[in-house]
Chains A and B, each alone.
Chain A
Amino acid sequence: MNWQLPLMLAQTDSSRLEELRERTEAISMQGTTVPDSSLVREGTSNPFATEYWFPTQASSFAGEVDFLYMAVFWISLIFFVAIVGSMVYFCVKYRRKDGVIAPEPSSSHNTAIEILWSVLPSIILVWIFYVGAETWFEMRIPKENAEEIQVTAKQFGWLFTYEDGDQTNELHLVRDKPVRLIMQSEDVLHSFFVAAFRQKMDIVPGRYTYAYFEPIKDGVYRLSCNEYCGTGHSKMKTACIVHTSEEDRKNNTKWIEAEKTPFENGQRIYQIHCSGCHKVDGQPATGPALNLIWGKNERMIDGTTELVDEDYVLDSIWYPEKHIVEGYGPVSKMNSFKGILDQKDVDYVIAYLKELKDQSGDAK
């Protein structure tokens, strides 16, 4: 997925690098870092300011969430200062001195004050609960005009499918357009989290879950998996880009196969379908790395060797259990892509693998 782009960029020549950078625009990344516009804050050194504790308020309800947070912050601070203040004061004033250990006589029970300090906090707690629940209804009950985007999470990447059928690995939204994410997982638990939206929802295999919000500020925000999902959990992050107009977004999400080179089409297929398990930096992951694989004699678990050619690639995509490379057994962890990728798509993948091999060769 997208955080692997820089690794690929490192292996491509400079003209292609420019081209790729253009396509990915704002989401071009360094390392695994997404440049996050929510980090642009003012007065960050004052710990009593909302901006100190929170990223930019980029959704319609972010302000309300922050309001409750800061309200509880101040309530807690007052209670905490009162508790610790009186504790320290008592410890200084009543510390044992002059060899007298018998304390001043004082009451050890006072029903009135005990009821008071049980009831008073209760009233505050009811208020906190009420405000929290009120905002939460807003966060959970979508507006009727919300657009629907399908989210598919898998180890360790994201796929977003828009109403017009476009698919991307990063989430593209339009400012002031409420959105309802319909989320599903292909494997284990994941969780959708964009701090700038203050929105989070687990993605549970075997059912759909929903997340709703209305982006009110354009920019690039970090989108991360927030529920531990295995080895690459901390790499399962991408960008969420809020555009100012529908047109802007379309320019970023549309993909016209005929206008692209086979390499680009192959690269896109790789990013959407393969990059969760196969790396292109030579490192083994759930499956073997793909950058040097073309034309190689791969050793199988049964000890035989197979030449990676067109037929091998087709078999591996359609019938993954047919060739299992040594070290990745005993059974294939890959699902068949027959019916998902047709033979033309496999052509693109082959073009992509060939060029990856060439570039890696050039680099040496």
Chain B
Amino acid sequence: MVDASTRQKLFGTPETNFLNCSKGWKSWAFTLDHKRIGIMYLIGVTVALFLAGVFALVLRSHLFTFDSKMLSDDMYNQMFTLHGAVMVFSFIIPSIPAALGNIVLPMMLGAKDVAFPRMNLASFYLWIIGTGCLLAAILSGKGLDTGWTFYTPYSIDTNTGVIYATFGAFILGFSSIFTGLNFLVTVNTMRAKNQGWFKLPLFVWSLYATAIIQVLATPVLGITLLMLIAEKTLHIGIFDPKYGGDPVLFQHFFWFYSHPAVYIMILPAMGVISELISVYSQKRIFGYSFIAFSSVAIALLGFLVWGHHMFTSGQSLVVTLIFSAITFTVAIPSAVKVFNWLATLYKGSILLNTPMCYALSFIFLFGIGGLTGLFLGALSTDIHLHDTYFVVAHFHFVMVGGTLTALLGGVFHWWPKIWGRMYNDFLGRVGCFLVFSGFNLTFFPQFVMGSRGMPRRYASYDPEFQIFHQLSTVGAFVLGLGILLSFVVLVYSALRGPRCSSNPFRAASLEWQSSSPPDFHNFIHTPVLTDPYDFESQVYDEELDTYIPREFANPAKVAPRKEPVHN
């Protein structure tokens, strides 16, 4: 038994923590602390999200009428290119792993930091340089009008800033590899004593699977983009038929990375959802090993399906057939996860707070995103739907409805841990409602347009689609408002929110055994290894008004089944 003053020291609000242990800009700019780097990443990706979000709102405003003159065709092409490139390379790919994962992963292992702290900081600076190069395409006055896919030979012909942008994406690739490599080594070597692979939180499994993809696939993108630059400057004849190259080859190389990259985006999101569903149901996650192995299965199968982006590209018929078949196999592990989350909710004790609302939105939106993938995996229907608004809607349901929703849910979940302050849950849920409804209003009409034959990347369109575009535009602004509100709620909470305890949600994974905000070294004491989904291991401590591991509790005061609600 541990006495009250020791408990206060271990789990109470500490006077020094990682936020105030050192001051001045240098203490942030040169920090090796994974939590500070995570926060800087979070700020970085938020800036990227706002920038690319503004591009999206400009696009949607332009599309409000079918013959809109708001943007010239060239401006429109530049807007959708920059929206896509910044969102994909600077926002979604680093969002959950590099921002949230950086903060949470080492603590989930009971570790002091990641395996290579300097590499972690380097990853962040590479992110800044890469994003800077991407944006240099705009600042140079040339812009970028190739689409985020940089398809040849247009990207070789165009006079816009393709070299800046591809070089930026090349550098961002290294940033991503650094994060992935760091996580792989950290998980392999720095787990707490006796913390076996099957005692890891599922978020760690998903980040591990993501890291495998980051390390294996990203180099292919890097090489491809370098070859594109070489083709553009030296005309060596790889991708442009003018010089004896093959544009379809570029598409193979590009999607060999960019399809696995889809799983870099969605796997960490699935990991976050596994944590949220379990904690806010206060129930052991259903089918732990099925979820864990499904992450690895998705990561590996994700390498074998890139050709489904190219059913109409002119690749061979046999290859197309095989890619379609393998594509369907990816559906299984994704479906398994959804079923397991539902089974976790069954007979749980479900708390509908902000993070949980985001988790439930995720199941709804990812459900649509995943199921509409079936239309695109099947050959005959994909021929019709390829490169129409149906595809646009499908991948936004997965990337925004999936990744962004999970990111927001995860940020709300771990926010009190990071800052030691609670957010306004009501406003948080209002934000979630706006994000959810705005999102559906934006993208659902696009399924109808796509099925009826509205091609993507069109600056003007036929009048019969106008009503759907208008719904979509209104929805985009509601979605933007929701994100803005969530942002305000979070920032206000970090600065002025009421103090909160070390473990307000009765979560059982190790990061909740640290104080809030955590100590610079994460844990003042050696964390007690608990099963991350055994919520019975956490008991309520009246003096601290929080949940602590049973080992630290006063046995006289533990009431095992009747405990006050606290959130």
Contact = CB atoms under 8 A, between A and B. Distances in A.
B551 interface: no
B349 A94 contact: yes
Interface in B334-351: 335-336, 338-340, 342-351
Given A68-B381, A102-B561, A229-B154, A87 B363 contact: yes
A55 B536 CA distance: 58
A233 B379 CA distance: 25
Among B351, B383, B564, the one with the most A-chain Cβ atoms within 10 Å of its Cβ is B383
B463 A33 contact: yes
B381 A65 contact: yes
B55 to A, nearest CB: 16
B157 A198 contact: no
A188 B387 contact: no
Interface stretch (B8-16, B107-115, B120-128, B313-321): B313-321
A131 interface: yes
B140 to A, nearest CB: 18
Contact of A53 (B382, B387, B452, B462): B452
28 contacts: A33-B462, A36-B462, A55-B452, A65-B384, A76-B374, A83-B367, A84-B363, A86-B346, A94-B347, A96-B565, A102-B349, A102-B560, A103-B348, A105-B347, A109-B286, A110-B287, A118-B332, A118-B336, A132-B377, A132-B381, A133-B324, A135-B379, A200-B312, A205-B247, A206-B247, A231-B73, A231-B77, A233-B459
B345 A193 contact: no
Given A90-B342, A91-B345, A80 B371 contact: yes
Contacts of B560: 102
Contacts of A103: 281-283, 347-349
B135 to A, nearest CB: 21
A193 B287 contact: no
Contacts of B312: 191, 200-202
B536 to A, nearest CB: 8
Contact of A191 (B352, B387, B562): B387
A72 B381 CA distance: 10
B378 interface: yes
A52 to B, nearest CB: 8
B238 to A, nearest CB: 12
Interface residues of B, number: 98
A106 interface: yes
Interface stretch (A220-228, A247-255, A354-362): A220-228
Contact of A101 (B245, B282, B343, B456): B282
Contacts of B460: 32, 234-235
B380 A94 contact: no
A187 B536 CA distance: 66
B348 A204 contact: no
Contact of B564 (A80, A99, A187, A232): A99
B28 interface: no
A131 B382 CA distance: 12
Nearest to B353: A96
A79 interface: yes
Interface in A36-56: 36, 38-39, 52-55
Nearest to A36: B462
A228 B147 CA distance: 8
Interface string A67-90: 011001101100110011011001
Nearest to B385: A69
Nearest to B331: A125
A188 B145 CA distance: 14
B151 A228 contact: yes
Given A90-B342, A188-B154, A53 B336 contact: no
B103 to A, nearest CB: 26
Interface in B380-408: 380-384, 386-388
B285 interface: yes
Given A55-B453, A101-B563, A234-B76, 18 more contacts: A31-B67, A68-B378, A72-B378, A76-B371, A83-B342, A91-B360, A96-B349, A96-B351, A100-B562, A101-B351, A121-B331, A195-B384, A195-B453, A204-B247, A204-B313, A205-B153, A230-B77, A235-B460
Interface in A172-225: 187-189, 191, 193, 195-196, 198-202, 204-207, 209, 222, 224-225
B469 to A, nearest CB: 13
Contact of B314 (A36, A79, A202, A226): A202
Given A76-B374, A114-B287, A209-B314, A90 B336 contact: no
A231 B74 contact: yes
A128 interface: yes
A64 B384 CA distance: 12
Given A90-B342, A231-B74, A188 B157 contact: yes
Nearest to A119: B332
Nearest to A92: B350
Given A54-B452, A65-B384, A132-B379, A234 B458 contact: yes
A28 B560 CA distance: 80
A352 interface: no
Contacts of A105: 347
B541 interface: no
Given A101-B506, A206-B241, A206-B247, A132 B324 contact: yes
B455 interface: yes
A230 B80 CA distance: 12
A38 B464 CA distance: 12
B50 interface: no
Given A108-B288, A114-B336, A226-B386, A202 B313 contact: yes
Interface string B298-338: 00000000000000111001000100110011011001101
A101 to B, nearest CB: 5
Contacts of A33: 462-463
B121 to A, nearest CB: 38
B384 A87 contact: no
A107 B448 CA distance: 41
A126 B456 CA distance: 29
A133 to B, nearest CB: 5
B537 interface: no
Contact of A200 (B288, B345, B374, B386): B386
A90 B462 contact: no
A160 interface: no
A55 B465 CA distance: 12
Contacts of B245: 206
Given A191-B312, A224-B455, A231-B77, A108 B321 contact: no
Contacts of A133: 321, 324, 379-380
A228 to B, nearest CB: 5
Contacts of B437: none
B429 interface: no
B350 A96 contact: yes
A108 B506 contact: no
Given A68-B378, A68-B380, A94-B347, A204 B248 contact: yes
B364 interface: yes
B405 to A, nearest CB: 14
B379 A193 contact: no
